[in-house]
Structure 1
């Protein structure tokens, strides 16, 4: 089981890296589009009608892909004061409950994002000339990644694998900066 989970972790790690690269590239492209729009509007006194909808669409991609990777890596927001006072087994159970809730939310993202994409697939975005479904695909893809990453986190925990990369390994509470200095 552990060997299989390590292989799964490598695959999901690769997926996470690809998602982060796409998200990072999206931030750069969106920034370039907005800069182009500002230049064209205020310097050339002309406007590019496609930059704003394209930037908003790209923003959806980097938000949902980045959020999925943040969940995988354990960097999402959490209220963890109680975790400082409960035993390790309770912490692990609470992490698992959290992953189940996030996974259920992600299933909703996939289901309802897909429905929205289906309903707008026949609409054409006038300034971009593409299907309206493209506005909702980031919700579906981000939701799929979230489901996958939540399942991975639960399975890694069940297999007894260390999950320090994912934010819930409390075997060694030494901060990373102290470890590197030692």
Structure 2
């Protein structure tokens, strides 16, 4: 059961990385197009800026979830690293609970925001509902919630044995 959960969270983790990478890649194509149409053709396109902003939001929330799971998120550990083992575990538990509350907040209130703004349209992209632009908030929050629960129950990803998709065991590493 544990290995199945780890495989699913590994797949979710890789999906977050690919979604974030694809967002940055598409942004790097769209922004030059907007510059080209504005300064070379003299007729600036209306859609590159809002699409690029949306892609940056996608990158931020999915990338943050992946960074949390990898332990690569921003953490100020100067004080906690100097604590004895007992208080250090207590602080780590407190951080997990606080992160859990932030992820629940993002999921619940992000979902409400999406539903309440779904009927509105973006001026530059009339076919896209405003609520769709907010979808990365609850989705990223939910994925982060899954990763936090995984961390709380199964431990930090980098400190446990990893069973890869072809059932090969890697000691103390991550995918």
TM-score of Structure 1 vs Structure 2, range by shorter chain: 0.7 to 0.9
Query: Would the alpha carbon gap of residues 164 and 72 (structure 1) be closer, same or farther in structure 2, given more than 3 Å must change?
Result: closer
Please report the TM-score for the alignment, with normalisation by the length of structure 2.
0.84
42, 46, 50: which one aligns with 1:45: 42
Asked if the contact 1:57/1:134 (under 8 Å) is kept, the reply is no
Asked if the contact 2:107/2:142 (under 8 Å) is kept, the reply is yes
The residue number in structure 1 matching 2:104 is: 107
Aligned residues: 159
| 1:49-106 per-position Cα deviation (integer Å, ceiling 9, x unaligned) | 1111111111110100000111111111112123333333443332222121111101
Matches within 5 A, 1:61-80: 61-80=58-77
The residue number in structure 2 matching 1:139 is: 137
State the superposition RMSD in angstroms: 1.8
Partner Cα separation in structure 1 for residue 47 and residue 77 of structure 2: 43
Could you tell me which runs of 5 or more consecutive residues in structure 2 were left unpaired when the two chains were aligned. 160-175
Could you tell me which runs of 5 or more consecutive residues in structure 1 were left unpaired when the two chains were aligned. 158-162, 167-182
Please report the TM-score for the alignment, with normalisation by the length of structure 1.
0.81
Deviation at 1:164, TM superposition (A): 5.6
Of structures 1 and 2, the one scoring higher in RCO (CA 8 A, sep 6+) is: 1
Asked if the contact 2:69/2:157 (under 8 Å) is kept, the reply is no
Partner Cα separation in structure 2 for residue 107 and residue 164 of structure 1: 21
Partner Cα separation in structure 2 for residue 164 and residue 18 of structure 1: 16
126, 139, 158: which one aligns with 1:165: 158
Partner Cα separation in structure 1 for residue 147 and residue 157 of structure 2: 15
